[in-house]
Amino acid sequence: MNSLEVKNLKVWDNLTGEVIIPNSSFHVKKGSCLAIVGESGSGKSLTCRAVMRLTKANIRQSGDILFDGVNLSELPEKEMRKRRGKQLCMILQNGMRAFDPSCVVGVHLKETLAGHFGWSRDEITAKMAKAMESVMLQDPIAVMNKYPHQLSGGMLQRVMIALAIVLEPDLVIADEPTTALDTISQYEIVEQLAQLRKRMGCSMIFISHDLGIVRKISDEVLVMKEGEVVERGSTAAIFSEARHEYTRYLVSSKLSLNHHFRNLMGGVSRAED
């Protein structure tokens, strides 16, 4: 059974008439992780913003976005706002963009949770503190009392994951959540996302250009090129028997970089990495 079905999604710039995504269709199975990969500008992030109906004012879209059988494309904005966060949660690439820079982080968390659940301030603080501790954030109260610029990118990503734990959404969209992080933080965030999915049994869309991370976290992979879906398959199939030339190019480029790095470091290249 599918958690999300996107049918004939078209996205275009209303000012220039440029069609950015001509006709995209895909689905996400309940409880599974679908990775969307492709080079910069391939339409990965825009596709997911369209699913959330969070594109810029000049961007238009058409097509059907069925979430648990409800067509999100037909919902009034007021109803869509109720579903964002509570049922569909997005973890952004740049944590700074997710929070109001003029307020401490706790203000955003409390406004979000009070809006969805009507909980008291103390209840929200207690639930967030527990979730933040579960993603290895030390001294959660102090973190909630800091401004976004006072926290590292990795800490902001963990705060967003902790918020998702409390919200318990049915679908989590992670839009290149590790791009701006160092290698150690990347590994830790991927582990936290895997634990989030395991804990809640939610579906996930994971957008990335890092095929190493994709290979670790996803069940299926969707490959995009210039706004179009060129291939889809199980993660194992995409990495071992890709059919499309562009997919083979992406995979071979990743392997070449790995081999080159290992040679520079004096290690032994391994084809399975």
CA distance 171 to 168: 9
CA distance 69 to 7: 13
Contact 47, 226 (CB under 8 A): no
pLDDT given at position 210:
85
pTM of the model as a whole: 0.87
3-state secondary structure of 203: strand
For the segment 28-38, what is each residue's pLDDT rounded down to a tens digit? 999 999 999 99
Q: Which fold has domain 2-241?
A: Rossmann fold (3.40.50)
pLDDT given at position 85:
87
Looking at every residue in the chain, the average pLDDT score rounds to 89
**Best-predicted range by mean pLDDT (121-125, 150-154, 208-212):** 121-125
pLDDT given at position 271:
43
Q: Residue ranges per domain, the chain?
A: 2-241, 245-273
CA distance 96 to 53: 20
Q: In the structure encoding, which two tokens stand for residue 70, read together?
A: 């409800």
pLDDT given at position 252:
87
Q: Provide the strand spans (E) within 131-198.
A: 171-175
Lowest mean pLDDT, pick from 86-100, 104-118, 154-168, 203-217: 86-100
In degrees and rounded to multiples of 5, residue 40 shows phi and psi of -55, 135
pLDDT band at 260 (very low <50, low <70, confident <90, very high): very low
CA distance 162 to 159: 5
pLDDT given at position 266:
57
pLDDT band at 268 (very low <50, low <70, confident <90, very high): very low
List all residues 6 or more positions away from 122 whose beta carbon is below 8 Å from its beta carbon: none
pLDDT band at 272 (very low <50, low <70, confident <90, very high): very low
For the segment 237-253, what is each residue's pLDDT rounded down to a tens digit? 999 999 999 999 998 88
CA angle 206, 140, 130 (to 5 degrees): 70
Contact 132, 78 (CB under 8 A): no
